Amino acid sequence: MSISWKGVMPAVTTKFTNKDELDLDMFSVNIKAQLDAGVSGIILGGTLGEASTLTYEEKKILMKETVKLVKGEVPVIINIAEQTTKGAIHAAEVAEECGATGLMMLPPMRYKANDHETVTYFKETANSTDLPIMIYNNPIDYGILVTLDMFDELLSCDNIQAVKESTRDISNITRMKSRFGNRLKVLTGVDTLGLESVLMGADGWVAGLVCAFPAETCAIFELAKAGRIDEALEIYRWFLPLLELDISPQLVQNIKMAEVATGIGTEIVRAPRLPLIGAERKRVEAVIKAGMASRPTLPSYKGIN
């Protein structure tokens, strides 16, 4: 399956049981909700997926289970966040063996590579696999900016096809589109810039709160792409307080609490993460409660594009 790199792609959470094992039953419930809402792909093993706490075997299980659940309906994309080039190449090999359709790649972890090292890391991994790749550009959280000049070099690899644009600089979408056209698909990776990014020409939205609110996220995207801006804006204004739960070190706990509210997840996280307590828990509960109480009735949005 090729990847069109457009539409809403949830960076899904990983579900755990009370015994700290994978909860594949609840995981299946959430994936089905995403597919029913009309997402364009499933992304595994990102920050929301608590990837840094997963074993290689658990990642394999999640990939194989997701491939089985989606039945070829949408691509399955695995995040690669490795410390070494050798590790990234191995992760790409494992992804291909498990049936993944594509990769999302972070720059090298821990070591702050310079521009030349970062480009070489991406290119050597890309040249080791036939899987299509989306580069994750998030200098705020990961300390390395992938510049437009670096993308000039990276696009010599045919399978580097997209960027998850998380610089928080909304004008960067225009810069990328002006320089690379359709050669580089641009997907926003910041929930609180979701609608703004689509209006600036983003091809897609790698989303977080979609994990709890898949239909609302897809509706905003599809309505905006169809030029029905007022309708998209009305939903987005309701959604924004919830979307702001994604901009937090505790985004995983926040979003899992929202998944509980909508009936498609559990609150269980893997240590050292712990469920929220005290004043912060009350604050997040209040945001979710207000959102649920005023949850909008959505217009028909499927197929409008």
CA 150 to CA 145: how far, in whole Å?
9
> Tell me, what's the pLDDT at 141?
87
Please, which residues have CB within 8 angstroms of residue 90's CB and are 6 or more apart in sequence?
none
Positive or negative, the CA dihedral 303, 62, 23, 282 is negative
Confidence band of 1 (pLDDT split at 50, 70, 90): low
Q: Compute how many other C-beta atoms are within 10 angstroms of the C-beta atom of residue 72.
A: 10
Q: Is residue 77 part of a domain?
A: yes
Residues 134-160: pLDDT tens digits?
999 999 989 999 999 999 999 999 999
Q: Is residue 233 part of a domain?
A: no
CA 258 to CA 213: how far, in whole Å?
8
182, 156 contact by CB (below 8 A): no
Say yes or no to pLDDT of 13 above 70.
Answer: yes
Please report, for residues 77, 127, 293, the alpha-carbon distance to residue 105 in angstroms, rounded to integers and kept in the order given.
Answer: 10, 13, 38
> Tell me, what's the pLDDT at 67?
98
Residue type, 196: E
Q: Is residue 97 part of a domain?
A: yes
> Tell me, what's the pLDDT at 93?
98
Q: What is the extent of the structural domain holding 131?
A: 7-228
Q: How many domains does the chain have?
A: 1
Q: Is residue 284 part of a domain?
A: no
Whole-model pTM: value is 0.96
CATH of the domain at 202: 3.20.20.70
Structure-token match 């600089």, residue found: 169
Residues 198-237: pLDDT tens digits?
999 999 999 999 999 999 999 999 999 999 999 999 999 9
CA 253 to CA 265: how far, in whole Å?
11
The strands making up 133-137's β-sheet, listed across from edge to edge, are 7-10, 204-207, 185-188, 160-165, 133-137, 102-105, 76-80, 42-44
How high does pLDDT run on average in the chain? 97
Q: Supply φ then ψ for residue 206, to 5 degrees.
A: -85, 105
Residues 242-287: pLDDT tens digits?
999 999 999 999 999 999 999 999 999 999 999 999 999 999 999 9
Report DSSP letters for the chain, one per residue.
------EEEEBPPPPB-TTSSB-HHHHHHHHHHHHHHT-S-EEESSTTTTGGG--HHHHHHHHHHHHHHHTTSS-EEEEE--SSHHHHHHHHHHHHHTT--EEEEPPPSSS---HHHHHHHHHHHHTT--S-EEEEE-HHHHS----HHHHHHHTTSTTEEEEEE-SS-THHHHHHHHHHGGGSEEEE--GGGHHHHHHTT-SEEEESGGGT-HHHHHHHHHHHHTT-HHHHHHHHHHHHHHHGGGSSTTHHHHHHHHHHHHTS------TT-----HHHHHHHHHHHHHHHHTPPPPPP-TT--
Q: Is residue 52 part of a domain?
A: yes
Q: Is residue 291 part of a domain?
A: no
> Tell me, what's the pLDDT at 110?
86
For the chain, percent of residues with pLDDT exceeding 90: 98
Confidence band of 2 (pLDDT split at 50, 70, 90): confident
Q: Is residue 176 part of a domain?
A: yes
For the chain, percent of residues with pLDDT exceeding 70: 100
Residues 62-99: pLDDT tens digits?
999 999 999 999 999 999 999 999 999 999 999 999 99
Q: Is residue 83 part of a domain?
A: yes
Residues in the chain: 305
Please, which residues have CB within 8 angstroms of residue 81's CB and are 6 or more apart in sequence?
45, 51, 52, 106, 109
Residues 25-40: pLDDT tens digits?
999 999 999 999 999 9
